[in-house]
Structure 1
């Protein structure tokens, strides 16, 4: 249950989403998508910003050594002796405060380039947990150890590249199933963590069991969703609800049997971290706005459907989504100005470590209009998600530039 506690403790008020406490699902009212048989027709028919840089100490940049500064009128200031050392003026009198005389900085010597909205990035590494050190739920004294552990777990339980090779399940079948599972998450009003964990369980099980084909793939998907619901939710849908959404293609007994098989195959190792866990931390470090955080979540859920993104580590996905989301909405063409020294320090990732993942996200955003898997786009076209999937900046110059770059 470590990652469950971690996921709850590291959520910030700014980036908290989908938390419904004490509200039980009313089974008397219909809330399900149109029932359909297994994998026959799973097309989608369901229909304060924190300051970017914060307060910083004024930084002074010397144009020339202080010895070349303008002369001081000693008689006028009644200063009998001046000692200039280390950029400070020392006097032998306390009647006047020491005066630092410097020539004004030229325009080209300006410390911060103001030509871009996001170029005024941090020049020093700041502490993102400064304002939450007195919050016991933030566990700031353990944050570094926690994410170090999560990085180990994501490698330990990684999904192999091309894990569906020589498999009865194809990438198209997987995409259709995941699209439908996201529809269920919206319909059942489940937490976003449930979707991420469900897809993670699905891929990990499929790479260990290559005999799953069209006849049982939906059974695996709905069983994985039930396991993820038990792990992440306070109130979970009843098993009869899962039978209903499968159009009675599978019985409750079959779903329970598949649940046991998934757990046994994975040896009850359910603690693999997902991209949303890392994204919340990275958004806090980057001081991302709600809109930027929402755009990053949109890209990560698009990645859930895409088979070519399965093997990429969740922390790499989260870093790429966070960086690209901020760059898109601030219209910053230089990604190195977005991925600041503070982000490098706390994520331990340089931009070059995940630049290839950013290009993959650019491809996903570019082809989303033509995709037949519309569950994520329709979910993020709602007002509750800032209608982020309809934002015109998603087709801006930065995406065009990334698409033209060579891998």
Structure 2
């Protein structure tokens, strides 16, 4: 028997084929090609499913071991028609390898009635956020975020300690510019706080020159957009810096920042803790109240004295400042439990009043750091929040004079 008229299948048996009866592959329809390739598998499926109990109806899925580009997936129903396939409780997956087919049984997924966990309703919790209230999830996330707080808490005079040529005023000007471009690009609030904390971590180890300080801040901001928001092009960011040269200058600065930080980019930003506190506040579902708390936090980002405050304390103080601006001077027990400040938020009041004072100075034109004021003055995104009646000079001046004992 000649080798030219023989074919060796995958189990080693020679079969004689007639060259005259062979049909070219290009003339075979696509449906026949797929059925011809799965011919050997379907035989084994019949033999494997024949030993199954007659009362059990199983769906069989064929997964080829070829490359993804050559993969063909076909579903074959064994022992039952498609009308009875809906009554199947277990699924059998046949994985095709080079030697033989391997049958793998996949356990059933638990029914929704047994897997669902009843969560008691909390004030301000949206239906899609109920899973955050499960103790097995929320507590672990909260502890992990708390463990990251000390990583980005620095001394207020760290710039002078490391001998940096960057002064506190230069840092404040840079952060104020980052707040402005963050509002211009309409990014997520987590991006801004992540960028500022990574900037402080970079300036602590990197003695950057004054002429490259803005480029360093832009590189850190670019990293934050990749972590928390949509990735922006280097050319668009350099355009905000009025630079029209080669974009590699930003890429090289980003590489320098990554090496200095040793790729430690996990940041416990205060937005995470603020979102958690919104679940316990009676106004947590109000978008205006949420933006008010964010405005309070953004107003003190340029202040070097706030770099040693943990993210959770910054979010708690912003919640207190937001409640004071809205006229809620009481401190309910759910909020005291969530912020760990009960029965009175006396430790949070100095920071909350500093936020209100910073907003007042920016609205009256007494401060040059007006990035947060311009950001929240947008009528399209924030409905002119910073220019609303509750942020008027008269209202804010009264809040600064509030005695600490009146908040309880």
Relative to the length of structure 1, the TM-score reads 0.61
Per-residue deviation, residues 95-121 of structure 1 (Å, max 9, x unmatched): xxxxxxxxxxxxxxxxxxxxxxxxxxx
1:381 to 377, 380, 394: 377
8 Å contact kept, 1:275–1:314: yes
Matched, 1:340 2:332: yes
Which residue matches 2:145?
150
3-state DSSP of counterpart to 2:148: helix
1:233 to 229, 233, 239: 229
Which residue matches 2:42?
none
Which residue matches 1:172?
169
2:134 to 140, 158, 176: 140
Q: From the superposition, tell whether residues 171 and 189 of structure 1 become closer, same or farther in structure 2 (CA, over 3 Å).
A: same
Which residue matches 1:224?
220
Which residue matches 1:276?
271
Which residue matches 2:347?
353
3-state DSSP of counterpart to 2:257: helix
Larger Rg, first or second structure (1 or 2) = 2
Matched, 1:312 2:309: yes
Provide runs of 4+ in structure 1 moved above 4 Å. 129-137, 396-399, 403-406
- CA–CA separation in structure 1 for the residues paired with 2:359 and 2:202: 28
3-state DSSP of counterpart to 1:168: coil
Give the alignment's Cα RMSD to 1 decimal. 2.6
Q: From the superposition, tell whether residues 279 and 250 of structure 1 become closer, same or farther in structure 2 (CA, over 3 Å).
A: farther
8 Å contact kept, 1:223–1:255: yes
CA drift of 1:377 comes to 0.8
Q: Which has the higher contact order (CA 8 A, sep 6+)?
A: 1
2:197 to 183, 195, 200: 200
3-state DSSP of counterpart to 1:220: helix
Per-residue deviation, residues 362-397 of structure 1 (Å, max 9, x unmatched): 221221122222221122112221322113333345
3-state DSSP of counterpart to 1:305: coil
Per-residue deviation, residues 160-188 of structure 1 (Å, max 9, x unmatched): 22222243111221122122222222333
Q: Which structure features the higher share of strand residues?
A: 2
Matched, 1:297 2:291: no
Q: From the superposition, tell whether residues 243 and 153 of structure 1 become closer, same or farther in structure 2 (CA, over 3 Å).
A: same
May I ask how many residue pairs the two structures share in their alignment? 274
- CA–CA separation in structure 1 for the residues paired with 2:158 and 2:198: 13
8 Å contact kept, 2:377–2:387: yes
- CA–CA separation in structure 2 for the residues paired with 1:135 and 1:286: 14
- Structure 2: tracts of 5 or more residues without a match: 1-119
Per-residue deviation, residues 189-243 of structure 1 (Å, max 9, x unmatched): 322221111111111111222x223111011111001111111223x22122223
- CA–CA separation in structure 2 for the residues paired with 1:232 and 1:403: 38
Matched, 1:372 2:364: no
Per-residue deviation, residues 228-266 of structure 1 (Å, max 9, x unmatched): 1111223x2212222322222774222222211211211
8 Å contact kept, 1:362–1:403: no
- CA–CA separation in structure 2 for the residues paired with 1:261 and 1:224: 10
Q: From the superposition, tell whether residues 308 and 400 of structure 1 become closer, same or farther in structure 2 (CA, over 3 Å).
A: farther
Q: From the superposition, tell whether residues 133 and 237 of structure 1 become closer, same or farther in structure 2 (CA, over 3 Å).
A: closer
3-state DSSP of counterpart to 1:248: coil
